[in-house]
Chains A and B, each alone.
Chain A
Amino acid sequence: MVFFLTKRLIQSVFVMLAVAFLAFSLFRYVGDPVSQMTGVETSVEDRERLREDLGLNDPFVYQFVRFTGDLLKGDFGYSYRTRQPVAEMIASRIPATLELGLVALMISLLVGIPAGVYTALRPRGFATQTILMLTLVGVSIPTFVIGIMLIFFFGVQLGWLPTFGRGGTVSVGGWETSFLTIDGWRSLILPALTLGVYQLTLTMRLVRAEMMDVMQSDYIRFATARGVPMGRMYFRHALSNTMVPVITIIGLQFGGVIAFSIVTESVFQWPGMGLLFLESIRFVDIPVMGVYLVVIAFFFVLVNLIVDLLYVLIDPRLRISDVS
């Protein structure tokens, strides 16, 4: 186990290095930061000097080594756009994104798994067909359209919910949370729904597919024949056998939630990392983009590690193939 963890940690460092390298190699295609940092009246000569001062004229490999070297020293650099320390900027945006992602994931799982089980057990029922149809329509509309429709319906027409931002947040030990105020929760509802609906459908459909597969398997048929009570059978035997793919999916979804939160955050002006990243792309804020990607890579590595550990816990048979 210790060996497995060490190995994975070493691999993780390589993953993050590779992400940083890839990210860095594409930054020059995003645009020219100096044009964004200066006004129209700035002279060619002043622009060139700024470029030189920022080290943008240095060879690519040199820039990359400097960036990773600074990262390893704990120096995350300064944003080109706001001139603030990048570490502070990203740290202050992490709670917003994680809380939004968490609530969206909860919606996806708490609704998706029961709905998946139900639709698997009653495949031809009217309710099943309705649920399947509705969720299909839900995922067929682009996220940004759903978000803006929700805003206009619940925010503008009904006036029930706020249209943008996080509303009231409370700082708990430096972590700005929405969970402790009513205003914060009200602001969370629409973005979390927008982000969760797509994931919900995916969860539901995967649980359903797995469940239907398992229901056909021999041992469930044996169990039915032996007269194991239906409820116990569905949830003890059948559902637990669908857990491996479902956990894979939760892991994937957390990734999906973080990735898709870029769009949701942009529609709801949600002050999370995704919004910061989009602003940084628009501004060619290379230090912020670089650190954002490394942080995201770290999240993914962590989530994948946890998923792999859970495999081992849930299905001991996997231990042999994965660990050895």
Chain B
Amino acid sequence: MSHYLKKSFVLGGALSLAALSVQAESFNWASKTDPQTMDPHAVNSTPVLSFLNNIYEGLVRRAPDMSIEPSLATSWEPLEGENGWRFNLREGVTFQDGAAFTSEDVMFSYERASSEAADTRSWFSPVTDVRIVDDYTIEFLTNSPNPLFPSSIANFMILDSDWAKSNDAVLPAKDSENFATLNVNGTGPFTVASRDPGVKTVLVPHAEWWDTPTHNITEATFTPIGNSATGLAALLSGDIDFIEPIPLQDVEQVESRDGFRVIEGEETRVIMFGFGHEHDTLLYSNDVTDTNPFTDPRVRLAAAHAIDIASIDRVLFRGKIEAASQLVPANISGYSEANQDRPAYDPERAKELLAEAGYPDGFSFGLKCTNDRYINDEALCRAAASMFAAVGLDAQLSTGPVRDYWEQLRADDFDMYLLGWSPGTFDIEHPVRFLLHTQDDEAKLGSWNFGNYSNARVDELLPLILKELDPAARQDMIDELVKITQDEVAYIPLYTQPLIWAVKDNIDVTQRADNFFMLRWVTVN
């Protein structure tokens, strides 16, 4: 490791010398988890993609409001006569090692990112072929009209083909390391000066970056701090300049101190309860053993009516959440405004519905929750269990760490469960594809639909929605789909998770709804 570090130190040293002409501004920031790898195609997870977006770039990128803007491609248009997109690439872009950026690098990165060794390959499942037209033009062919394709590859990061080949990093490392695990060579605004995984990573600006820097950082140091109280202490003591997230209950404390600021926003992640739609019996019931009451939509609706979101918001989330009516929040494309009402808090109605369904005294069942995945997830489930109890739904709560949670859900070991979903493509199609479509491993659909909610019309609508180019017609189909899932109470959407960042007063940062932290939008005053 020291070998790598020494080498990258030399590189970093040269770059920071170049930047010294500007006023030196060092910036320290912290978050909960360390990016596992510096390889942009090895792991498709927020900590990795967020961090690497400072170093590598895609053909397109997201603006602060999440809209798509040109990055390594200056423009793009649908192909004529066939399905797919043409990207016109930016000229004069150089990688951090000085190599020039051309369409060959895009081709190489596509092959790398869509290989079996890559975790990002699902992005390219609609792609049938990629053609280089010339050094600065490239075409992606898709199996059907795909209006969402450019925005779905915003995190598809380009690396230099020669660099990867000469360093034996043609494919992402899966069960061993390779050069790209610790070393970087992107076109982005920053590059890695030194990295000690899990301890600290130092970034310095890329002097030859093609875009005009809006930041004034000369050196940025990232430290992962897992314990939230320790992280908060590090901020308040001045050891770090920025941290995300901080616990909701500490917001007031930070705001009341001089020299600190809290930046609140709404993430795109919707928290919801899911049901075992296809289970024949309850697993964790003391009284109902021969059937699964949750197959009756009236029972599911009763559960929805039992939840008092306003109190959860006031007490557990200090008024910082937005109640949700569907699987995406209002700022996501495709959000169905026609269906923006959620079942009201109405315990009496819930009891009536249970009685109608044949459970006047309610019944007991198991509720599975994480305790380290979402903000206040355990407290939420405890509160929900208490609210369910008030209408006769006796929830046997079981909370645990996320590390074996998905495995339990995949093994159908639940009656009702907690889930949070952030739409990766920032369109409602994403949760429909993963959470609402019937499970279908072949077609790679419904892979997170643990309870296997299944509705023929929903399955029929999804491909139509994906292909439709006319926004109004598309929205009509989405409205129909959302209506069905609300009527059937496929899930109980609860709220949108808040984003809570804390910074020192002299720092300006820009918050984006996907919770990516972009160093190029940081200024130290």
Residues of A within 8 A of B233 (CB): 148, 151-152, 155-156, 163-164
> A268 interface residue, CB < 8 Å from B?
yes
Task: Tell me whether A50 and B403 are in contact in the complex, defined as CB-CB below 8 angstroms, given that A41-B424, A164-B225 are known contacts.
Answer: no
> A43 interface residue, CB < 8 Å from B?
yes
> B256 interface residue, CB < 8 Å from A?
no
- A residues adjacent to B (C-beta < 8 A): 29-32, 35-46, 49-50, 53-54, 78, 80-85, 88-89, 92, 148, 151-152, 155-156, 159, 162-165, 174, 266-269, 271, 275-276, 278-279, 281-284
Contact A156–B237 (Cβ < 8 Å): yes
Residues of A within 8 A of B120 (CB): 39
Nearest 6 pairs of A and B residues by beta carbon: A39-B44, A31-B403, A31-B404, A32-B407, A41-B122, A271-B199
Residues of A within 8 A of B181 (CB): 82-84
Task: Tell me whether A80 and B175 are in contact in the complex, defined as CB-CB below 8 angstroms, given that A32-B404, A42-B122 are known contacts.
Answer: yes
Contact B237–A37 (Cβ < 8 Å): no
Contact B116–A78 (Cβ < 8 Å): no
Contact A159–B237 (Cβ < 8 Å): yes
Smallest Cβ distance from A204 to chain B, in angstroms? 29
Q: In the complex, A263 Cα to B329 Cα: how many Å?
A: 38
Residues of B within 8 A of A156 (CB): 233, 236-237
Contact A284–B237 (Cβ < 8 Å): no
Contact A39–B227 (Cβ < 8 Å): no
Q: In the complex, A153 Cα to B238 Cα: how many Å?
A: 14
Contact B197–A269 (Cβ < 8 Å): no
Residues of B within 8 A of A80 (CB): 175
> B335 interface residue, CB < 8 Å from A?
no
Q: In the complex, A49 Cα to B45 Cα: how many Å?
A: 19
A selection of 10 A-B contacts at a CB cut-off of 8 Å is: A38-B43, A46-B119, A80-B175, A82-B36, A84-B181, A163-B234, A163-B239, A269-B223, A278-B226, A283-B403
Q: In the complex, A40 Cα to B119 Cα: how many Å?
A: 10
Smallest Cβ distance from B497 to chain A, in angstroms? 15
**CB contact between B441 and one of A35, A45, A54 (< 8 Å): that residue:** A45
Contact B182–A84 (Cβ < 8 Å): yes
Contact B444–A164 (Cβ < 8 Å): no
Contact B407–A164 (Cβ < 8 Å): no
The B interface is mostly helix, strand or loop, or mixed, namely loop
Smallest Cβ distance from A269 to chain B, in angstroms? 5
Residues of B within 8 A of A50 (CB): 174
Q: In the complex, A40 Cα to B402 Cα: how many Å?
A: 13
**CB contact between B406 and one of A30, A35, A283 (< 8 Å): that residue:** A35
Task: Tell me whether A159 and B116 are in contact in the complex, defined as CB-CB below 8 angstroms, given that A50-B174, A82-B36, A82-B37 are known contacts.
Answer: no
Q: A30-B404, A39-B43, A276-B198 are in contact. List 12 more A-B contacts (CB 8 A).
A: A38-B43, A39-B119, A42-B119, A42-B122, A46-B119, A78-B175, A84-B197, A148-B230, A159-B238, A267-B230, A269-B225, A278-B226
Contact B226–A269 (Cβ < 8 Å): yes
Contact A164–B239 (Cβ < 8 Å): yes
> B229 interface residue, CB < 8 Å from A?
yes
**CB contact between A83 and one of B123, B177, B196 (< 8 Å): that residue:** B177
Q: Residue among A88, A162, A163, A271 with the most chain B CB within 10 A?
A: A163
Residues of B within 8 A of A37 (CB): 43, 119
The residue of chain B having its C-beta at the shortest distance from the C-beta of A50 within the complex is: B174
Contact A266–B1 (Cβ < 8 Å): no
> B401 interface residue, CB < 8 Å from A?
yes
**CB contact between B37 and one of A83, A89, A151, A162 (< 8 Å): that residue:** A83
Contact B42–A83 (Cβ < 8 Å): yes
Contact A44–B403 (Cβ < 8 Å): no
Contact B401–A282 (Cβ < 8 Å): yes
Q: In the complex, A280 Cα to B447 Cα: how many Å?
A: 26
Contact A268–B123 (Cβ < 8 Å): no
Task: Tell me whether A269 and B230 are in contact in the complex, defined as CB-CB below 8 angstroms, given that A45-B441, A163-B239, A165-B223 are known contacts.
Answer: yes
Contact B175–A284 (Cβ < 8 Å): no
Q: In the complex, A84 Cα to B181 Cα: how many Å?
A: 8
The residue of chain B having its C-beta at the shortest distance from the C-beta of A55 within the complex is: B175
Contact B197–A89 (Cβ < 8 Å): yes
Smallest Cβ distance from A274 to chain B, in angstroms? 12
Q: In the complex, A180 Cα to B2 Cα: how many Å?
A: 20
The residue of chain A having its C-beta at the shortest distance from the C-beta of B229 within the complex is: A148
Contact B44–A162 (Cβ < 8 Å): no
Smallest Cβ distance from A324 to chain B, in angstroms? 48
Smallest Cβ distance from A97 to chain B, in angstroms? 13
**A-facing residues in B36-56 (Cβ within 8 Å):** 36-37, 39, 42-45
Residues of A within 8 A of B357 (CB): none
Task: Tell me whether A84 and B1 are in contact in the complex, defined as CB-CB below 8 angstroms, given that A43-B444, A49-B116, A155-B237 are known contacts.
Answer: yes
Residues of A within 8 A of B236 (CB): 156
Smallest Cβ distance from A83 to chain B, in angstroms? 5
Smallest Cβ distance from A90 to chain B, in angstroms? 12
Residues of A within 8 A of B441 (CB): 43-45
The residue of chain B having its C-beta at the shortest distance from the C-beta of A284 within the complex is: B403
The residue of chain A having its C-beta at the shortest distance from the C-beta of B236 within the complex is: A156
> B417 interface residue, CB < 8 Å from A?
no
> B149 interface residue, CB < 8 Å from A?
no
Q: Mark B207-239, 1 if CB is under 8 A from A, else 0.
A: 000000000000000011111011101101111
> B121 interface residue, CB < 8 Å from A?
yes
Contact A281–B403 (Cβ < 8 Å): yes
Q: In the complex, A81 Cα to B181 Cα: how many Å?
A: 11
**A-facing residues in B122-150 (Cβ within 8 Å):** 122-123, 125
**A-facing residues in B312-355 (Cβ within 8 Å):** none
Contact B230–A164 (Cβ < 8 Å): yes
Residues of B within 8 A of A84 (CB): 1, 177, 181-182, 197
**CB contact between B198 and one of A82, A151, A174, A267 (< 8 Å): that residue:** A82
**CB contact between B44 and one of A41, A44, A165 (< 8 Å): that residue:** A41
Smallest Cβ distance from B261 to chain A, in angstroms? 17
Q: In the complex, A175 Cα to B406 Cα: how many Å?
A: 40
Q: In the complex, A85 Cα to B1 Cα: how many Å?
A: 9
Smallest Cβ distance from A195 to chain B, in angstroms? 15
Smallest Cβ distance from A234 to chain B, in angstroms? 43
Q: Mark B391-430, 1 if CB is under 8 A from A, else 0.
A: 0000000000101101100000000000000001000000
> B176 interface residue, CB < 8 Å from A?
yes
Task: Tell me whether A83 and B116 are in contact in the complex, defined as CB-CB below 8 angstroms, given that A38-B43, A159-B237, A281-B403 are known contacts.
Answer: no
Q: Mark B4-33, 1 if CB is under 8 A from A, else 0.
A: 000000000000000000000000000000
Q: In the complex, A32 Cα to B199 Cα: how many Å?
A: 25
Smallest Cβ distance from A84 to chain B, in angstroms? 5
Residues of B within 8 A of A39 (CB): 43-45, 119-120
Q: In the complex, A35 Cα to B450 Cα: how many Å?
A: 14
Q: Mark B167-189, 1 if CB is under 8 A from A, else 0.
A: 00000011111100110000000
> B434 interface residue, CB < 8 Å from A?
yes
Residues of B within 8 A of A279 (CB): 198, 226
> B448 interface residue, CB < 8 Å from A?
yes
Contact A163–B407 (Cβ < 8 Å): no
Residues of A within 8 A of B122 (CB): 41-43, 46
Q: Residue among A84, A85, A282 with the most chain B CB within 10 A?
A: A84
